[in-house]
């Protein structure tokens, strides 16, 4: 078996573990988020580093809908420079700075019925734990999406001694093995092919679909960003505008 097949097999194993072990947690998180969105609240999304991907996967992707509020701090997530100004070293340094999470959340007006989803594969860095603590201090429920294998084996860095699952009300395991990289290659000392992208994206979209189903069952179907493939170009453009207008209406409170 070559390394490409080894990666696909490992990725399939992650999906199967999510299917067989995480559906109860996903259902609980879906109930929480449905209640938030149905009552005109916002599901705030936060993550550092590559976890930014899952914020944008939740919204505004095709097949997504308003009610989610991605909080993307570029100093913690802007990776394409790698070196030089706005480089990776700076981003990795900043996610260990206590006080930064609190400073970020001071920019927003937060309150019930809002909730948070916080993504972090390790679940131990200072900024993500601090954002969770700040959300809880405002009486907002927190959902954590982490690799439990990695998180429970890693040293917590926050001065509280807590990991993200210690703070969260609901923890969803992305079911990625500790260390993230999945494939050992002959002649190479280090494993390659991270799996957390597969796991966290699957959790995100399973959760999104279940929330949509629950909102529709409540008679509050969301406005979905829908491809022209399904409804034609003009209808798709009009639906995008309706969706963005609804998003603007929902989020204007948090910037007040």
Q: What distances in angstroms separate CA 255 from CA 41, 106, 110, one per listed residue?
A: 14, 10, 9
Residue pLDDT, tens place only, 81-115 = 889 988 899 999 999 999 999 999 999 999 999 99
Q: What is the pLDDT of residue 17?
A: 98
- Residue 4, Cβ density class (10 Å: 0-12 exposed, 13-18 middle, ≥19 buried): exposed
State pLDDT tens for residues 26-64: 999 999 999 999 999 999 999 999 999 999 999 999 999
- Write out pLDDT tens, residues 205-252: 999 999 999 999 999 999 999 999 999 999 999 999 999 999 999 999
Q: What is the mean pLDDT of residues 155-178?
A: 97
Mean pLDDT of 128-153: 97
CA nearest 95: which of 75, 69, 117? 75
Residue tagged 């919204």 (tokens): 59
Q: What is the pLDDT of residue 142?
A: 98
CA dist., res. 164 & res. 142, Å (int): 9
pLDDT at 151 (0 to 100): 97
Instruction: Identify the pLDDT of residue 86.
Output: 87
Task: Determine the Cα–Cα distance for residues 191 and 174; give it in Å rounded to an integer.
Answer: 19
Q: How far apart are CA 49 and CA 95, in angstroms?
A: 8
This prediction has a pTM of 0.96
* Cα 177 off chain centre by: 18
DSSP-derived letter for residue 176 is: P
- Kindly tell me if the per-residue pLDDT of 175 is higher than 80: yes
| Per-residue pLDDT, 85 | 87
Measured CA to CA, the distance from residue 122 to residue 156 in angstroms comes to 9
Q: What is the pLDDT of residue 183?
A: 97
| Spatial CA neighbour of 25 closest among 219, 217, 199 | 199
d(CA 32, CA 112) in angstroms, rounded, equals: 12
Give the pair of three-digit tokens for residue 80. 């394409």
Q: Report the distance separating Cα 243 and Cα 225, nearest Å.
A: 7
Confidence of residue 15 (pLDDT cuts 50, 70, 90): very high
Task: Return the DSSP state at 155.
Answer: P
Average pLDDT of 109-129? 97
Average pLDDT for the chain: 96
Q: What distance in Å separates the CA atoms of residue 122 and residue 126, rounded to the nearest whole number?
A: 11
Other CB atoms within a 10 A radius of the CB of residue 170 amount to 21
Task: Give the phi and the psi of residue 122 in degrees, each rounded to 5.
Answer: -85, -35
Whole-angstrom distance, CA of residue 69 vs CA of residue 117: 10
Nearest Cα to Cα of residue 202 among 244, 162, 172: 172
Task: Check residue 79 and give its pLDDT.
Answer: 77
Q: Based on DSSP, count helices (H) and strands (E) in the chain, helices before strands.
A: 12, 7
Closest CA to 201 of 25, 52, 34: 52
Is residue 188's pLDDT more than 90? yes
Q: At residue 1, does pLDDT exceed 80? A: no
Q: What is the pLDDT of residue 78?
A: 82
Q: Residue 226's pLDDT is what?
A: 97
């Amino acid at each position: 078996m070559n390394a490409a097949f080894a990666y696909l097999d490992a990725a399939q194993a992650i999906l199967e573990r999510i299917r067989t072990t995480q559906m109860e947690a996903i259902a609980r998180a879906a109930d929480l988020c449905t209640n938030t969105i149905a009552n005109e609240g916002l599901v705030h999304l936060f993550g550092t580093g590559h976890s930014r991907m899952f914020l944008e996967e939740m919204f505004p992707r095709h097949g997504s809908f308003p009610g989610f509020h991605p909080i993307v701090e570029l100093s913690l997530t802007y990776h394409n420079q790698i070196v030089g100004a706005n480089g990776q070293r700076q981003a990795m340094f900043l996610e260990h700075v206590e006080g930064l999470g609190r400073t970020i959340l001071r920019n927003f007006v937060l309150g019930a019925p809002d909730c948070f989803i916080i993504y972090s594969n390790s679940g131990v860095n200072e900024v993500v734990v601090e954002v969770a603590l700040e959300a809880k201090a405002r009486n907002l429920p927190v959902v954590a999406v982490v690799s439990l294998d990695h998180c429970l084996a890693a040293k917590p860095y926050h001065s509280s001694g807590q990991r993200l699952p210690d703070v969260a009300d609901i923890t969803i395991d992305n079911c990625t093995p500790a260390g993230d990289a999945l494939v050992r290659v002959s002649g190479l000392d280090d494993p390659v092919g991270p799996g957390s992208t597969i796991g966290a994206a699957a959790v995100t979209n399973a959760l999104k679909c279940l929330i949509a189903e629950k909102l529709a069952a409540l008679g509050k179907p969301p406005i979905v960003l829908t491809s022209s493939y399904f409804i034609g170009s003009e209808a798709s453009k009009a639906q995008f505008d309706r969706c963005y207008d609804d998003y603007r209406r929902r989020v204007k409170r948090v910037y007040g």
